[in-house]
Amino acid sequence: MARPQTDLEAGREQLLDIATAMIEERGNGALTMTELAALAGMSPANLYRYFESKEAVIEAIAGRWFAPKVAIMEEVVASDLPPRRKMYEFYARRFALIRGMWERDPVVFQTYCDVGEEHFEVVRSYVDLGDHYLGEIVAEAMADGHFAGLEIDEAISLINQMVAPYVNIGLMGLIMPKLSEEKLARIVDAVFDGLSAVDRGARAVTGLRAA
Amino acid sequence: MARPQTDLEAGREQLLDIATAMIEERGNGALTMTELAALAGMSPANLYRYFESKEAVIEAIAGRWFAPKVAIMEEVVASDLPPRRKMYEFYARRFALIRGMWERDPVVFQTYCDVGEEHFEVVRSYVDLGDHYLGEIVAEAMADGHFAGLEIDEAISLINQMVAPYVNIGLMGLIMPKLSEEKLARIVDAVFDGLSAVDRGARAVTGLRAA
């Protein structure tokens, strides 16, 4: 976490520690501005100097949750790995981080899933950021001849769907024991060697011709 | 739905109609045996002649929900389509059925997701049945040379993960507008042309050799 640089920032960080503990100990819905102020030993009016709304507190908690994931994405995309290795690391490193949290406390993990589901408008900007970085990897892969005939946005959508269990934390929590880095690597290899716009028979649309 | 053959079966079907309406109108958690008996105009003791527990009612409702999906799986697996076409139809027909339900009433759809999540022990037997049928398609595909080096169970697990958004109704409900038969077909083609046990560089494990 970045070192707070002003009293205002230091106060915000302390309040976020308290708010995070409220949610982790008592679940999604436990957070109210009145009780947060009371636990922090300040008046509600004073609390609003730090956060203008409960939504602003949630946004800041989301920022803390996503910061290490964003750092991973930036580091992987900026690396000089080939695109296939980049895509694997792009997912595998975040998956390992999230799995570690699930292993430490599945109940707290589920609470974060619930918070994210209730406040999906906050999560969405991070989803969009992930798509942006994935798009950079896809563009590099396309330059190497992969994903023939697909638009970048089509490829992003298809890849998101094919690796969904390694990204969607709700689904991840349901099937964690079935997920592994080894399986993720096989899926990423299948993405690189199998995904294109060419109909090779699954739907058999192009195969329906008059003899 | 099969025609009821005895008074007992006819009574069970009527009770399931009432129980289904209770859940669809008032959500997961609305179903109690006391109220089900009252709505059916019978004593609780009489209700227990038809269903020995609330869990038995839930199991019967799950049976109704899954019956058309099981019929699709049986029909597709028994068909003489090639394995790649079978796998696409195996998922696409059920996806179209479920999407139709979502389009008719997203709130009722979400209620069934909630019921399934709360009573996952009931859902599990249908998940296992789906894996059984998928395994038959996978075995046919392997006989044609696909999925080289993978065990059947490994292939089943990987394919389940790659098509998760078209099977897991909770995830499906979250991203339905992004799902389509066309994308599913591309994913199934990627499964057939890209999935194997050969490490082709995603994880770069086999690439790490001394020079």
Rounded Cα–Cα distance for residues B130 and A108 (Å)? 31
Residue of B nearest to A202 (CA): B85
Distance from CA of B7 to the nearest CA of A (A): 40
| Contact predicate A54/A63, CB 8 Å | no
pTM for the structure as a whole: 0.91
pLDDT in tens, A24-59: 999 888 899 999 999 999 999 999 999 999 999 999
**Per-position DSSP letters for A78-119, written without gaps between them:** HS---HHHHHHHHHHHHHHHHHHHHHH-HHHHHHHHHHHHHT
Residue pointed to by tokens 């908690």: A61
Which regions of chain B carry the CATH code 1.10.10.60? 5-52
Cβ of B185 within 8 Å of Cβ of A179? The answer is no
Superfamily name with CATH number, domain B5-52: Homeodomain-like (1.10.10.60)
Distance from CA of A3 to the nearest CA of B (A): 35
Q: Which residues of B touch A190 (CB under 8 A)?
A: 158, 162, 190-191, 194-196
Rounded Cα–Cα distance for residues A44 and A55 (Å)? 15
Residue pointed to by tokens 């800041």: A60
pLDDT in tens, B128-181: 999 999 999 999 999 999 999 999 999 999 999 999 999 999 999 999 999 999
ipTM of the complex: 0.91
Pick from A13, A11, A12: which is nearest to A1 by CA? A13
Which regions of chain A carry the CATH code 1.10.357.10? 62-194
Contact pairs from chain A to chain B, CB under 8 Å: 141
From first to last of its 211 residues, chain A has per-residue pLDDT tens of 555 568 899 999 999 999 999 999 998 888 999 999 999 999 999 999 999 999 999 999 999 999 999 999 999 999 999 999 999 999 999 999 999 999 999 999 999 999 998 999 999 999 999 999 999 999 999 999 999 999 999 999 999 999 999 999 999 999 999 999 999 999 999 999 999 999 999 998 654 444 3
Superfamily name with CATH number, domain B62-194: Tetracycline Repressor, domain 2 (1.10.357.10)
Nearest to A183 among B157, B193, B205 (CB): B157
The predicted structure's pLDDT at residue B94: 98
Cβ of B162 within 8 Å of Cβ of A158? The answer is no
Residue of B nearest to A155 (CA): B183
User: Within a 10 A sphere around the Cβ of B91, how many other Cβ atoms?
Assistant: 25
| Contact predicate A120/A28, CB 8 Å | no
Give whole-number Cα distances, B108 to A22, A57, B69, in Å. 32, 32, 18
Cβ of B202 within 8 Å of Cβ of A181? The answer is no
Residue type, A89: E
Rounded Cα–Cα distance for residues A194 and B77 (Å)? 24
Pick from B121, B109, B98: which is nearest to B27 by CA? B109
Question: Quick one: pLDDT band at residue B211, thresholds 50, 70, 90?
Answer: very low
Q: Which residues of B touch A178 (CB under 8 A)?
A: 157, 160-161
